[in-house]
Amino acid sequence: PSFKLREVASMYFTMIAVFLVILVVALQGSVPLDPQGLLELSWNVSYPEQAVHFQLLVRDLQFGLLFGMSDRGEFENADLVVLWSDGHNSYFGDAWSDAKGQLHMDSQQDYQLLGARRAPEGLYLLFRRAFSTCDPKDYLIEDGTVHLIYGILEKPVHSLQAINISAIHRGLQRVQLLKPNITIPELPSDMKTMEIRAPDVVIPSQETTYWCYMAELPDSFPKHHIIMYEAMITAGNEALVHHMEVFQCAAEFDSFPHYNGPCDSKMKPDRLNYCRHVLAAWAMGAQAFYYPEEAGLAFGGPGSSRYLRLEIHYHNPLVFKGRRDSSGIRLYYTATLRRYDAGIMELGLVYTPVMAIPPGEDAFILTGYCTDKCTQLALPAAGIRIFASQLHTHPAGRKVVTVLSRDGRERQVVNADGHYSPHFQEIRMLKEVVAVFPGDELITTCTYNTEDRSRATVGGFGILEEMCVNYVHYYPQTQLELCKSAVDPGYLHRYFNLVNRFNDEEVCMCPQVSIPQQFFSVPWNTFNRDVLKSLYGFAPISMHCNKSSAIRFPVRIAPQP
């Protein structure tokens, strides 16, 4: 269809004019929206204006498209901007979808079309949207994960209401739109690079693959500081490489076997499970990661393993065959050590089945504590500075937040993601450094949805078990590597006793029956659900305040803060 500039008498429609748009601000993020790379989104955040400028490249425009945001990537109850054509004229408007997926033009037009231009590679659309619009039909753009949705119109439509969203080619992409404005530190002149990348692997022709590859540092590699890292994506695979991580292996083993294959393969050596210390993590849409100029992440030297494991998540929904890939992560490091070693500390819940979520829950909350007693014992008098964070749950996780509490009062949010997705995990630089002092508490709360499950979900390492973790990156490094909690097991035993007293169906508490089996046998009526929620809210906790050697600081059972 042709694009014409003409007046439209309706307040609801904005016609598209084709003209050259000159971007006066540098784009801060870019991501392919669809697996074929037909739609590419770039954006810039203006914190003074509290607005996001979007640039959408449409490589093969047919009769229009939908683009927008929703709570978890649904096309129902979504906030949308729509470009559509009736075959003669083309229209652009702010719209929303109801609970049935029917589209409606928004009476308050908050997506502002700034311009459009044709180029050899396709059509560029530039539009603007405020973070908050005070329109109940609009999505509130916040820190954390944003689920972007798109749809492609392959036939002309005569009105917005005529678009059937269930019949169009559509999908979703997850990004962090509101990236912090970080001042890039000056990089040292002796900086070197190391590339940890897949060795020209053939991406399996299936939707989801986790690929593992083992790499080694050179012999007698001395201690260095990693000061920056960035992704290297093989050209043409930008829409297939979903996220990547580089792990360092445990120093207690002298050697690790070479491996290059699927992470879930039976051929993968078990020892690779001891490669879990995160050195770098990247997810689609993430930019280069910089350490603060006064700190670096140590690797190499005595007490540091030479072995690294690269893990790449390939998302191949169109099941491309024969696609080769050499993507990976480039580490920037220096032999000129910075003032502080950076450390990584685990906050949240211990990996234990005593923390469980009943089936059929839409928003069940579990909380893990790093208590004042632990920070008092383990942190230096001058405290530590948290500068980045990686939130982590398994598939039932929906929200994660960590707050800093001092003298019994919440003082600061360390990191929060109200639209968290376990399919989009990255190390995120914080907007401001968080200072934590001895006696402070760090409280991590996770919200879960188990509406699709028929039995309890217990805590643990399995993919159908759950976690609630915040890996915080901080300096200076201390001996404290894990600061987490779980409910006291003795009080959980009392819970099972109570369930037996007040329910016809008996929960077996024989010594040989595991805690997961006891949870699986609980009849999940309202009473049993409410009592478990109360138990997790008020029972004493077992505190794990661990050194890197796995030896605990002397902190055990404590009342809940």
Q: Which of 231, 213, 155, 523 is nearest to 359 (CA)?
A: 523
Residues 433 and 449 in one domain: yes
d(CA 439, CA 191): 38
pLDDT above 80 (res 5):
no
**pLDDT digits over 377-414, tens only?**
999 999 999 999 999 998 999 999 999 999 999 999 99
Q: Which of 543, 205, 160 is nearest to 369 (CA)?
A: 543
Residue 555 lies in a domain: no
Residues 113 and 229 in one domain: no
- From the candidates 147, 243, 277, 392, which is the catalytic residue? 392
Residues 155 and 220 in one domain: no
Q: Are 360 and 450 in contact (CB under 8 A)?
A: yes
Last residue of a domain, one of 107, 142, 175: 175
Report residue 4's pLDDT band, with 50, 70 and 90 as the boundaries. Answer: very low
d(CA 88, CA 312): 45
d(CA 506, CA 509): 9
pLDDT above 60 (res 15):
no
pLDDT above 70 (res 148):
yes
> Domain holding 483: CATH number?
2.60.120.230
CA 461 to each of CA 342, 351, 398, 470: distance values in angstroms, whole numbers, following the listed order: 26, 7, 18, 15
Report residue 11's pLDDT band, with 50, 70 and 90 as the boundaries. Answer: very low
Residues 30 and 152 in one domain: yes
Residue 182 lies in a domain: no
> Domain holding 200: CATH number?
2.60.120.310
Residues 143 and 33 in one domain: yes
Residue 140 lies in a domain: yes
Q: What is the pLDDT of residue 182?
A: 80
Which of the two residues, 500 and 263, has the higher pLDDT score? 263
Specify whether 210 is catalytic. Answer: yes
Residues 436, 440, 444: CA angle, nearest 5 degrees: 90
Which of the two residues, 297 and 512, has the higher pLDDT score? 297
Residue 513: Cβ-neighbour burial (10 angstroms; 0-12, 13-18, 19+): middle
Residue 407 lies in a domain: yes
Counting residues of the chain whose pLDDT is more than 90, the rounded percentage is 71
**pLDDT digits over 114-123, tens only?**
988 889 999 9
Q: Which amino acid is at 338?
A: R
- DSSP string of 278-328, one letter each residue: EEEEEETT---EE--TTEEEEESSTT--SEEEEEEEEE-TT---S-EE--E
Q: Which of 514, 417, 427 is nearest to 465 (CA)?
A: 514
Residue 392 lies in a domain: yes
Residue 556 lies in a domain: no
- From the candidates 12, 104, 210, 423, which is the catalytic residue? 210
The dihedral through the CA atoms of 13, 83, 125, 32 has a sign that is positive
Last residue of a domain, one of 113, 143, 175: 175
Last residue of a domain, one of 338, 361, 392: 338
Report residue 506's pLDDT band, with 50, 70 and 90 as the boundaries. Answer: low
Q: Give 312's strand partners.
A: 211, 244
Q: Which helix (H) or strand (E) holds 496?
A: helix 489-502
CA 526 to each of CA 209, 491, 522: distance values in angstroms, whole numbers, following the listed order: 39, 20, 12
Residues 362 and 223 in one domain: no
Residues 96 and 171 in one domain: yes
pLDDT above 60 (res 450):
yes
- How confident is the model over 265-278, as a mean pLDDT? 90
Residues 315 and 423 in one domain: no
Residue 29 lies in a domain: yes
pTM of this structure: 0.85
Residues 201 and 114 in one domain: no
Residue 374 backbone zone (phi > 0: left; psi -120 to 50: alpha; other: beta)? alpha
DSSP secondary structure letter of residue 188:
P
> Domain holding 29: CATH number?
2.60.40.1210
Report residue 24's pLDDT band, with 50, 70 and 90 as the boundaries. Answer: very low
Q: In what order do the strands lie in the sheet with 428-436?
A: 428-436, 384-392, 469-475, 343-349, 480-487, 541-547, 557-558
Residues 164 and 215 in one domain: no
Q: What is the pLDDT of residue 137?
A: 94
Residues 252 and 370 in one domain: no
Report residue 60's pLDDT band, with 50, 70 and 90 as the boundaries. Answer: confident
Residue 379 lies in a domain: yes
Domain count, the chain: 3
d(CA 91, CA 68): 16
pLDDT above 70 (res 124):
yes
Residues 78 and 205 in one domain: no
List the domain range (segments joined by +) for residue 293: 191-338
